[in-house]
Amino acid sequence: MTLTAKNKFVFVDGSLLRPNSDDLLFGAWIRCNSMVISWILNDVSRDIADSLLFITTASEIWTDLRNRFHESNAPRIFQIKKLLNGLQQGSMDANSYYTKLRILWDELKDFQPVSVCNCGSIKEWMTYQDQECVMLFLMGLNDSYAQIRAQILMTEPTPTISMLFSLVLQEERQRSIHKNMLDNGVDLSSVAAQSSHIAVVRSFQNNRGGRNGYPNDKNFGDRPLCSGCHYPGHTVDKCFKIHGYPPGHPRYK
C-alpha cells in the first residue's frame, strides 16, 4: 500500500524498465530505485537484508523475496477454517468477538476466486456467503444469547452480519444497564412499576380523563407521586397504605 500510495510500485513489479544512460530520466530512475531498495532493506530482518545487498534493482529484490517465502494457500485456508469452526465468544464482549470473526472471514474470502458473471447469480452467491458468516457468528455466541439467537433464526429474510452485530450489541448494552442498576441496589420491579404509573398519569393528563377513580383535573399530571405505593396525589410520608388510615376513614381498622 505504501509503494502504491507513493507511486513506486512500478519499480518492484518491473513495469517501469531502466532507461538508457543517455536518457533524461535515467538519473531520476536511479534515485527512485535506490529509495525503494532502501525501504525494502529496512523492512526485513538483518540476515535477509545482508543477502540482498548486491542485487541492483528493486524488482529483482522483490522477485527474490517472493521466490524464497512464497507458500501455498492451502495451509493458511485450512488454519483459518479451523479457527472459524472453533471460535467461541467465551469471555469476549460482542465487539471483540465480532471483530475477530470478521478478520478471519474476510481473509478467507480473499483466498476465494472471484468469477465475472453478468447473469445476476453472483448476487445470490454473495448473499449465501453473508448468511454463512451469520451462522458462524450465531453458533459462537454464548448461551446467554439463546433467546435473541432464536428470534434471529426465525426472521425472514435473515439479517446481514452487520445488522446482526447491531442487535447483539444493543442486547449487551441493555444487560449492562440492568447489571449496573442491580449493583447499585436499584429495585428493577419498583422502577418498572413506577414508570408504569407515571405513564398512566401522563396519559390521563393528556386525555383529561376521569375514569378509574382519577379526578378530571387539568393539573393532574403535576401532582406528587408516592414512592411507596406509586399512586399520585400524595408523598410517601403521608401514604395511608404505609402509615395506616386515620380514624374516620372507611378503611380504618
Orientation of helix 161-183 relative to helix 146-153, angle to 10°: 150
Q: Where are the domains of the chain?
A: 2-69, 73-183, 188-243
Angstrom distance (rounded) from CA 79 to CA 71: 14
- The predicted model scores a pTM of 0.53
pLDDT tens profile 180-224 = 777 666 555 555 555 555 554 455 455 544 444 444 444 545 667
The pLDDT of residue 36 is 94
pLDDT tens profile 216-253 = 444 545 667 777 676 777 787 777 777 777 766 666 66
The pLDDT of residue 141 is 92
Closest CA to 238 of 253, 218, 224: 224
Low pLDDT (below 70) residues in the chain: 115-118, 120, 183-223, 228, 230, 247-253
The pLDDT of residue 65 is 92
For 64-86, letters b (16+ CB in 10 Å) and e give ebeeeeeeeeeeeeeebeeebee
The pLDDT of residue 189 is 56
The pLDDT of residue 180 is 75
CA diameter of the chain: 118
